[in-house]
Structure formats: structure tokens, C-alpha cells
Structure 1
Amino acid sequence: MSGSSNSGSSQGSPNGDDNPAAEFATVDSGKKQRSFLRELPILILVALVLSFLLQTFVARVYLIPSESMEPTLHGCPGCTGDRIVVEKIGYRFHDPRPGDVLVFRGPESWSSDFTSTRSDNVVLRGLQEAGSMVGLVAPDENDLVKRVIATGGQTVECCDDEGRILVDGKPIDEPYVVMDFPFEPGIRTCETDTRSPRCFGPVTVPEGNLWMMGDNRSNSADSRYHAGDELQGTVPIENVVGKAQFIVLPPGRMGTIGSPDIQGE
């Protein structure tokens, strides 16, 4: 009897090899690990679908590759280009307004120098396209960023006696313009023999289109540069991707992107 009792005590000991609680914990842990591995592909798929929906319909991050919007947005050679959040919802309810900073797909004449970033290899190109759909790879299109100066039906030109842009005959307020072509009253204007490079127009913007200009006026191939094309240099609203709202990188330049009412009442 005592031998049998000792044997039972040994099997029930917490330190025994046949501890039921330890065996149950091991089995339970194994089940959880297998369950997680089965769920992992579903979780990845859900994350990719959510990313696709977010990038397509809500907002996307874009890199500024040129200096045409300085100093509002940085893209200068040798510096860290700004990464901006472009919101895509607002313009489903209203059209772009003068003063808004937009990202848009360049019309045909704006895209003559655009070179595709996609690989010639069919497999790699497919992977790049898939990555673009979920925001891991930049879209293969000529995406540009400029500011709206005039909208459909308005007439835009430069300059008045002070070198300002006129919209429907009224000068607009542009506090964001720091770098511009020289304009010296009585010396270099739109009427002098040596004409100021600021001068253009007048151009009446077709309905459904926008007159777009970079904030860095002395270094921006914008609507002025393309004024001789079939759209008079304007950009169709249907080409608009969204409104630039925030600078998210680099950290030292994080903040909102202003959209002042440049035309007033």
C-alpha cells in the first residue's frame, strides 16, 4: 500500500515529467501559434486592402521633386525634398479655389519630358504596379504640384504698374511669392523695350480648367510656359489628384500648407 501511495505522489508532483498542467499549457500554446499563422495572411490582405482604399480615395503621401514651389515646399537640389499629404475627399464636394496648392496629373504638353519609372521586365513591372496600388511605390504618372491662380471663366494676366498678377482686372495678393523675375517701374515693365519676364496674357481660363503657377516664379514651368498649347496652358479639373494639406517630412518642416484667399471679395 505504501509503495502504491509513493508512486501516486510521484505522478502528481509539480516537478514530475507527466504534469498535466504543463502538458495542457504546451498544447494550448501550440494551438495559438498555429491559429496566428493561419490568420496572418488574412491580416496582411486586410491591411493591403485598407491601404489601397486609403491611398485611392482618402489621402496619399507625395514627394516634392522640384524647386518650383519654394519656399512653400522644398525640392531644391541637394536638400531633403518635402513629403506632403494630399487629401482627395474635399474636391468631391467643391471645385478647387484660387490659392489652393494642388497635386495634378500633367496634361499632354506638360508631360513631354516625363520618363516612366517602371521596369522593362514584365514581372518587375507587375510588382511595381502592385506596390503602387497600396502606396509602397510611387505612381507611374507625371504628378505635379502648383497653386491655383484663376479658375474657369476668369481672365488672368501680368502685370499691373506694381508688377502684380491681375485676375479679372484686379491685382491679387501673393504673400507666398519670394522669388520672382525683376519688374522695375519705368525701367523694366510690360511696356518697356526690355520687357519683364513676369509678363503674360491676358488668358481667359476655359470652364472646368485651372490656371496653375509655382510659388517660385523665376523657376517654374507652369501655365505660363504652356500657354501656347491646346488648353492655353490650363489644367482640366479632372486631372486634379487632390489638395496638398500637410508637410510630414522632414521633421523640421512639419506643418500645414496655407491656402490664402488671394483674390478677396
Structure 2
Amino acid sequence: MTPASDEGGSDGHRRSGSHARERDNTPRSFWKELPLLVVIALVLALLIKTFLVQAFSIPSASMENTLQIGDRVLVDKLTPWFGAEPQRGEVVVFHDPDNWLRGEPTPKPNAVQTVLSWIGLMPSADEKDLIKRVIGVGGDTIECNGTGPLKVNGKPLDDSYIYAGNTPCSSDNQGGQFKVTVPKGKIWVMGDHRQNSLDSRYHQNDKNHGFVPVGNVVGRAVVIAWPPERWSTLPVPDTFDQPGIGTAASALPGALGLAGAVPLVLWRRRRTTSRGTGAPAAADGGAATTDDTRVSGGSTAR
């Protein structure tokens, strides 16, 4: 016969365990969860800024009217990871190649601004980036005579996208008149506001002779995201696709095509092997389961 005290003790243990389980299943307070949610959000923001897309604000006029002061653009940082390089006609953000932004004032952020800029939620005071249009890539010959037209590989460009009233070339002798051949691994960039852009033309005496190393390119600006009434994509002007200007193939389609082809080839080989040995198809694996335009952006481009 079991003593009453043992039964009571056993019941007490059961009740205690039940209460413990109930406490374990009680939802945690929102305020206790909030710090974790904030940390996760900040980590995701940092990863997106670093590897996928970053916002840049436009503080100057060198890309008008394509980009206006106060516009915020989204820059694709993903495709360069697949080997894609800048193409003619694209608007790109790039790190200052050789003191192009010399003399530009640098704001002094407070501690909160420093943290927010680090995760890409505010402009960074330390990032010295610019935004321009790619006119030529490695191997291209680019020239300006008089007021234009601007020529790439002997083909005149229809510069209808440049600032109204500007001429495609500047008639000054400080850089506006030139003929250059772009080295491999470099690009030649110009602002759409041709008479208000200190671009490749005016840096031909720097260590890169005005060319921008491809490795300095942060990514391609693809969308004007702010203000809402300015929302639009940033396509390549048709003039860069004219016959004879040359075609610079992007590495991205090839990379994605290769990635997609590998599993398809393996699947076909396994099916062929299964048929050759008389095995049923299911044996494959069972069930299917300006002035230079600096940018700030989370940075600023000029």
C-alpha cells in the first residue's frame, strides 16, 4: 500500500511540472522581443547594403536632367558578384579614382549618424563616390571635336539624353577636346550635364589618365526611387545599341546560364543511365520535392 505522503508528493511533482510547461509556453513580452527584432533588422539592412542594393542621394547637378539634386537612386551591387562589368550607356556609381573630389567639403556626423551610415540607413561622410554615365569600355576609341557629336569607335552618338541646351562636346581646350582609347579593365565616364561635369575629360592628368578602373565601380544605378513623383528606371539610351559601335557582352547571363545548365545536364545524364540499365525513371531519386556628382548613400554620388 502506497503511503499517502508519497501520493501527495507525486501529485505535487506533476502539478509543478504542468505549471512549468505552462510558463514555458507563455508568449514572451513584445518589449523583450523588440531588441532581437531590431538587431535582426539591422543585420539584414547591412547585408542588403553590402551585397544586394544600396541607396545613393544626388547632391549636385552634373547628371541633370537624368538625375536631379535630391534624387535618391537604387544601385545594383549584386551583378558584379557574377562577373558582370559596366556597359556603355549605363549610369554607374564608383569610388573616387584619384582625388576627383578634392576640395569637396566633408560633413562631420555625430555618433548616431555614424552608426546609421554604417548600416546604410544614412549617407556616409567617409564614402567618396561619384555617379556618371559610361561612355566607353576597354578597347573603345572616344573622341570629341568642336562641340560634337561625341563619337565612339567612329560612330556619332545621339546625345538627346543630355541636359537641354548643352552640346555633346565642350569646345574648351582644358579637356573638352580629346581622342582616347580606353585600356582594358577601365571605363570612360561623362556627366549628362556636359558643361557642368568634371568627369573623365578633366582628369586626364591623374594617375589613371581620366579612366576609371572597373574595380572602383560600386554598381549600376537602376531606379530613381525618391521622390515618388520622380520614380523611373534608368535604361541605356538606344544610341549605344547602334550597329557598328561594338557589343560588350555582360558576364551575368553566362554565369546564370551556366548555373542553370549544370543541374539540367546532371539530370539528363542520370535519366540516360537509368534507361540504359532498365531502371525505372523513379530511380532518379524518388519523389520530386559633378561640378562632380558625388553620391551619398546610404551614400552620396557627385
Match of 1:155 among 111, 118, 141: 141
Query: CA offsets, 1:69-123, max 9 Å, x none?
Result: 1111111xxxxx111111111233311100000111111231212343334xxxx
2:81 aligns with 92
- Structure 1 runs not aligned, ≥5 long: 1-26, 76-80
1:35 shift after superposition? 3.1
* In 1, Cα distance between equivalents of 2:113 and 2:138: 37
* In 1, Cα distance between equivalents of 2:168 and 2:99: 28
1:139-218 → structure 2 map (5 Å cutoff): 139=124, 140-159=126-145, 163-179=148-164, 181=166, 199-218=176-195
1:148 shift after superposition? 0.2
* In 2, Cα distance between equivalents of 1:37 and 1:249: 33
Match of 1:66 among 60, 64, 69: 60
- TM-score normalised by L of structure 2: 0.65
SS in 1 for 2:188: strand
More displaced stretch, 83-92 vs 146-155: 83-92
Match of 2:99 among 105, 109, 114: 109
* In 2, Cα distance between equivalents of 1:218 and 1:132: 32
CA contact (8 A) 1:149 1:210 kept: yes
| Identity score, percent | 42
CA 1:133–1:182 in structure 2 vs 1: closer, same or farther (change >3 Å)? Answer: closer
User: Partner amino acid for 1:65?
Assistant: P
SS in 1 for 2:33: helix
CA 1:106–1:249 in structure 2 vs 1: closer, same or farther (change >3 Å)? Answer: same
1:173 shift after superposition? 2.5
User: Partner amino acid for 1:109?
Assistant: N
CA contact (8 A) 2:92 2:131 kept: yes
Match of 1:236 among 205, 213, 233: 213
| 1:246 is aligned to 2:223 | yes
CA contact (8 A) 2:167 2:194 kept: no
Query: CA offsets, 1:185-219, max 9 Å, x none?
Result: xxxx97xxxx6888421112121111000001011
CA 1:44–1:214 in structure 2 vs 1: closer, same or farther (change >3 Å)? Answer: same
* In 2, Cα distance between equivalents of 1:91 and 1:261: 23
2:236 aligns with 259
User: Partner amino acid for 1:175?
Assistant: S
1:158 shift after superposition? 0.5
- TM-score normalised by L of structure 1: 0.73
CA 1:38–1:87 in structure 2 vs 1: closer, same or farther (change >3 Å)? Answer: same
* In 2, Cα distance between equivalents of 1:219 and 1:176: 15
CA contact (8 A) 2:175 2:202 kept: no
SS in 1 for 2:116: helix
2:34 aligns with 40
1:221 aligns with 198
CA 1:175–1:92 in structure 2 vs 1: closer, same or farther (change >3 Å)? Answer: farther
Structural RMSD (CA): 2.9
1:170 shift after superposition? 2.0
* In 2, Cα distance between equivalents of 1:111 and 1:163: 27
CA contact (8 A) 1:182 1:198 kept: no
1:21-36 → structure 2 map (5 Å cutoff): 32=27, 34-36=28-30
Judging by fraction of residues, say which structure has more helix.
2
Q: Greater relative contact order: 1 or 2 (C-alpha under 8 angstroms, separation 6 or more)?
A: 2
* In 1, Cα distance between equivalents of 2:175 and 2:208: 20
More displaced stretch, 218-227 vs 87-96: 87-96
1:226 shift after superposition? 0.8
Q: How many pairs align?
A: 219
CA 1:183–1:57 in structure 2 vs 1: closer, same or farther (change >3 Å)? Answer: closer
* In 2, Cα distance between equivalents of 1:111 and 1:230: 15
